[in-house]
């Protein structure tokens, strides 16, 4: 088996077992923490993806305000990492 066949089988398995959304949610969390590094990541208390909306919980109101100005850039960075549109909107809590 080559890599393409294995990838196709894995995608079929994920679809049949309805694991795609959960796996994508985990990947988005990982990417968020990688992109934000220790500064923002330390104040992030929750990350979840629902219907192309990324919900971010932050423990710092000042940081929430600061990030609210750069939502479009954050969306672009995350989507570039996945090489497709995963996030269309970010909600900061």
Q: In this structure, are residues 35 and 81 in contact, taking their beta carbons and an 8 Å threshold?
A: yes
Q: In this structure, are residues 78 and 54 in contact, taking their beta carbons and an 8 Å threshold?
A: yes
Q: What is the pLDDT of residue 12?
A: 81
Could you please report the per-residue DSSP string of 6-25?
HHHHHHHHHHHTT-HHHHHH
- Enter the pTM of the model: 0.80
Of the candidates 53, 57, 43, which has an alpha carbon nearest to the alpha carbon of residue 90?
53
Q: How far apart are the C-alpha atoms of 84 and 42, rounded to whole Å?
A: 27
β-bridge pairing 89-92 and 44-50: unpaired
Domain 20-92 has CATH 3.30.300.20: yes
Give the pLDDT confidence of 44-78 residue by residue, as tens digits. Answer: 999 999 999 999 999 999 999 999 999 999 999 99
């Amino acid at each position: 088996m080559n890599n393409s066949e294995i990838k196709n089988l894995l995608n079929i398995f994920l679809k049949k077992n309805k694991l795609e959304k959960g796996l994508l949610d985990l990947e988005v969390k990982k990417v968020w923490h990688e992109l934000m590094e220790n500064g923002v990541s330390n104040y992030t208390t929750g990350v979840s993806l629902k219907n192309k909306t990324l919900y971010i919980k932050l423990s710092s109101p000042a940081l929430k305000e600061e990030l609210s100005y750069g939502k479009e850039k954050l969306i672009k960075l995350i989507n570039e990492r996945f090489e497709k549109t995963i996030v269309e909107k970010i909600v900061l809590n």
